[in-house]
């Protein structure tokens, strides 16, 4: 049986064999027209194996409710891949369509052992969480192939890689002490699994 993959807020990106969902019809990209602020989404319970939301959640009201809705239509063990702007990013606040940015611990309330888990009754396992200094580099896998190819001038690559390593040695220290010393980080990359 073929995997069911949803690309929520796809815009002009196409992940092969995925169902593209967005607010407006874009020929060749959007298969299902739906306002992602409107819940429920037009998918049955336990429907999808994967969902992708790249720079979408920051545009939506009540992000926790949207993550609960994705949880509803993911199959048990289903994966949600997301990227959202980090609060220190210049783009986090200068984009007029953004409602909110995110920090390293923004999604921790989705874990059952988190002290703020009382905000929701769904549980995700955090498989991966990383602050990225520069969103266009380095990217890997399907994200680099279908969403954003790697773009970085050659002489900046070692600097970006070093900053990523330093940031993720202690993301909390980065956020509390030195994130603005380097102009902020671009995004938070997070992978969640439905428990």
pTM of the predicted structure, to 2 decimals: 0.95
Whether the predicted pLDDT of 114 surpasses 80: no
What per-residue confidence (pLDDT) applies to 170?
97
User: Phi and psi of 88, rounded to 5°?
Assistant: -85, -5
Mean pLDDT, the chain, integer: 95
The span from the CA of 54 to the CA of 183, in Å, is 22
What per-residue confidence (pLDDT) applies to 120?
87
The span from the CA of 129 to the CA of 165, in Å, is 13
pLDDT tier at 118, thresholds 50, 70, 90:
confident
* 124-132, strands of its sheet edge to edge: 32-33, 18-22, 5-8, 48-54, 74-85, 187-194, 124-132
Q: What is the pLDDT of residues 71-89, one digit of tens each?
A: 999 999 999 999 999 999 9
The span from the CA of 191 to the CA of 124, in Å, is 10
CATH of domain 5-133+187-194: 3.40.50.150
Give the list of residues 6+ apart from residue 64 with CB closer than 8 angstroms, or none: 109, 119, 120
Q: What is the pLDDT of residues 27-62, one digit of tens each?
A: 999 999 999 999 999 999 999 999 999 999 999 999
Give the list of residues 6+ apart from residue 188 with CB closer than 8 angstroms, or none: 83, 84, 85, 86, 102, 103, 104, 106, 129, 130, 131, 132
What per-residue confidence (pLDDT) applies to 79?
98
């Amino acid at each position: 049986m073929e995997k069911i993959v949803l690309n929520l807020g796809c815009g002009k990106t196409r992940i092969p064999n995925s169902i593209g969902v967005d607010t407006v019809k874009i020929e060749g990209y959007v298969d299902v027209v739906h306002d992602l602020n409107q819940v429920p989404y037009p998918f049955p319970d336990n429907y999808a194996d994967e969902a992708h939301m790249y720079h979408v959640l920051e545009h939506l009201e009540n992000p926790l409710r949207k993550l609960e809705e994705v949880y509803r239509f993911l199959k048990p063990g289903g994966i949600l891949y997301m990227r959202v702007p980090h609060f220190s990013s210049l783009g986090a606040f200068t984009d007029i369509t953004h409602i909110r940015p995110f920090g390293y611990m923004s999604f921790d309330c989705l874990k059952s052992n988190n002290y703020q888990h009382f905000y929701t009754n769904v549980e995700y396992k955090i498989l991966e969480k990383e602050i990225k200094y520069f969103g266009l580099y380095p990217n890997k896998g399907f994200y680099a192939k279908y969403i954003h190819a790697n773009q970085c001038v050659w002489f900046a690559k070692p600097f970006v890689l070093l900053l990523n390593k330093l940031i993720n040695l202690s993301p909390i220290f980065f956020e509390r002490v030195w994130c603005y010393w380097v102009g902020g980080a671009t995004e938070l990359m997070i992978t969640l699994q439905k428990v």
